Amino acid sequence: MHIQKSVRVLVVDDSAASLRTLCESLKALHGIEIVGTARNGIELLKKAEELRPDLVVTDLHMPRMSGLECTLRLRELMPETRFIILTDLDSPFTVEECGGPGADYYLYKEHMPEKVVMAIRQLFPYLAPLETNRIRSADERVFC
């Protein structure tokens, strides 16, 4: 019997509404485990080092430190972790800056959750099709 590993995700956004929306979308997917959330860059760094997620989904513009700055720092400490940066801004400079050594994916929030799900599928191909029919037990921890 093959046991499928779940993807451990840290979700970060300074907007409570965006954080809640993203968490609700992700926690409905089979194979995704939300291990924590953060509301600013400093909190992201601390939680990522403590929780060692497989994936960090972060807003680009946040207080105290941007999602890109955090991604660049964490890449050195946790090279196996994947990063998806989300933004509301449409700037070619920002897209170029976030690519390369930065994020694995740079996505616009207006394309959530569809593009985030597609990116997760590409980053973690061992996941079964990301179905949204997962039923959570009452004792499962949810951070959103």
**91-99, long-range: CB within 8 Å, 24+ apart, which pairs?**
94/60, 97/68, 98/60, 98/68, 98/71
Per-chain mean pLDDT for the chain: 81
- pLDDT tens per residue across span 23-58: 998 888 888 999 999 999 999 999 999 999 999 999
Angle, CA of 117, 124 and 56, to the nearest 5°: 70
* Structural domains of the chain in order of their starting residue, each with its CATH number: 7-123 (3.40.50.2300)
* pLDDT (0 to 100) of residue 36: 97
